[in-house]
Amino acid sequence: MESGQFDGMTVNERLFSAGLLETFDVAVGRRDRDTLIAILSEVALVDAETTADSVLAPPHRNVP
């Protein structure tokens, strides 16, 4: 990929542009952290590890 190709794009836009959105979704379904990090790194995400952990974290619920 060309340097700077993903500047200004959201994560989803980057994944779609790179043709990796479906692969990413499958990795999320498998809870495959290593594959998520590799995919996020491929689309030039600076902190792929933290993003992968956030995606795999249980949802936070505000309970009164």
44 exposure class (CB count in 10 Å sphere: 0-12, 13-18, 19+): middle
Provide the sign of the torsion angle of the four alpha carbons 37, 17, 7, 54, taken in this order: negative
pLDDT digits (tens, 9 = 90+) for 44-56: 998 999 999 999 9
* Global pTM value: 0.84
CB 58 within 8 A of CB 52: no
pLDDT digits (tens, 9 = 90+) for 6-60: 989 999 999 999 999 999 999 999 999 999 999 999 999 989 999 999 999 988 7
- In angstroms, the Cα distances linking 37 to 6, 15, 64 are 17, 12, 35
